[in-house]
Chains A and B, each alone.
Chain A
Amino acid sequence: MQSTNHPPIKAVPLRHPFRWAVALFLVLSAAAFIVDAAHRSAYDWKSFRKYIFDTRVLQAAGVTLALTALAMTFAITLGISLAVMRRSPNPVFRSVSWLFIWIFRGTPVYVQLVFWGLLSTIYHSFFVGIPDIHFNNFYLGFHQAISQNFSLFWIAVIGLSLNEAAYMAEIVRAGLLSVDAGQEEAATSIGMSWWATMRYVVIPQAMRIIIPPTGNEIVSMLKTTSLVTAVPLVTDLYARTRDISAETYNPIPLLLVASAWYLAFTTILMVIQYYIEKRFARGQATLMAAAS
Chain B
Amino acid sequence: MSSTAPREPMVVAEQVHKSFGSNHVLRGISLEVSRGEVMCLVGPSGSGKSTFLRCINHLEKINSGRISVDGTLIGYRENNGKLYELSAREAAAQRAGIGMVFQRFNLFPHMTALQNVTTGMVRVQGINQSDAEIEAKKILERVGLSEKLGHYPAHLSGGQQQRVAIARSLAMRPKLMLFDEPTSALDPELVGEVLDVMKELASTGMTMIVVTHEMGFAREVADSLIFMDGGVVVESGKPIDVLNNPQEARTKSFLSKVL
By a beta-carbon cutoff of 8 Å, the part of chain A in contact with chain B is 89, 180, 182-183, 185-194, 196, 200-201, 204-205, 282-285
By a beta-carbon cutoff of 8 Å, the part of chain B in contact with chain A is 57, 59, 88-89, 92-100, 102, 104, 106-112, 119-120, 123-124, 152-155, 165, 168-169, 171-172
- B108 contacts A190, C-beta separation under 8 Å: no
Given A189-B98, A283-B154, A183–B59 Cβ distance below 8 Å? no
- A200 contacts B88, C-beta separation under 8 Å: no
- A186 contacts B59, C-beta separation under 8 Å: no
Determine the residue in chain B with the shortest Cβ distance to A281.
B110
- A186 contacts B92, C-beta separation under 8 Å: no
- B110 contacts A190, C-beta separation under 8 Å: no
- B95 contacts A189, C-beta separation under 8 Å: yes
Determine the residue in chain A with the shortest Cβ distance to B154.
A285
Given A188-B59, A200-B123, A283-B111, A193–B89 Cβ distance below 8 Å? yes
Determine the residue in chain B with the shortest Cβ distance to A202.
B108
Given A190-B120, A191-B96, A183–B152 Cβ distance below 8 Å? no
CA distance A23 to B154 in the complex (A): 40
Residues of chain B lying within 8 A (CB to CB) of residue A180: 106
A92 to chain B, nearest CB (A): 15
CA distance A188 to B93 in the complex (A): 10
CA distance A70 to B5 in the complex (A): 69
- B88 contacts A193, C-beta separation under 8 Å: yes
Given A191-B96, A285-B154, A186–B124 Cβ distance below 8 Å? no
- B108 contacts A189, C-beta separation under 8 Å: no
Q: Which of A89, A190, A284 contacts B124 (CB 8 A)?
A: A190
22 residue pairs A–B, Cβ–Cβ below 8 Å = A180-B106, A182-B104, A183-B108, A186-B107, A187-B108, A188-B59, A188-B92, A190-B95, A190-B119, A191-B93, A191-B94, A191-B96, A191-B97, A191-B120, A191-B124, A192-B92, A200-B123, A201-B108, A205-B108, A283-B111, A283-B154, A285-B154
Determine the residue in chain B with the shortest Cβ distance to A207.
B110
B126 to chain A, nearest CB (A): 11
B237 to chain A, nearest CB (A): 29
CA distance A185 to B97 in the complex (A): 15
- B92 contacts A193, C-beta separation under 8 Å: yes
- A191 contacts B92, C-beta separation under 8 Å: yes
Q: Which of A186, A191, A204, A205 contacts B102 (CB 8 A)?
A: A186
CA distance A285 to B156 in the complex (A): 11
Residues of chain A lying within 8 A (CB to CB) of residue B94: 191
B190 to chain A, nearest CB (A): 18
Extra 13 A-B pairs, beta carbons < 8 Å, given A190-B120, A283-B152: A186-B102, A187-B108, A189-B59, A190-B95, A190-B96, A191-B94, A191-B96, A191-B97, A191-B172, A192-B120, A192-B124, A282-B152, A284-B109
- A185 contacts B59, C-beta separation under 8 Å: yes
A205 to chain B, nearest CB (A): 6
B178 to chain A, nearest CB (A): 8
- 8 closest Cβ pairs, A-B complex: A191-B96, A186-B106, A283-B152, A190-B120, A182-B106, A189-B100, A285-B154, A191-B124
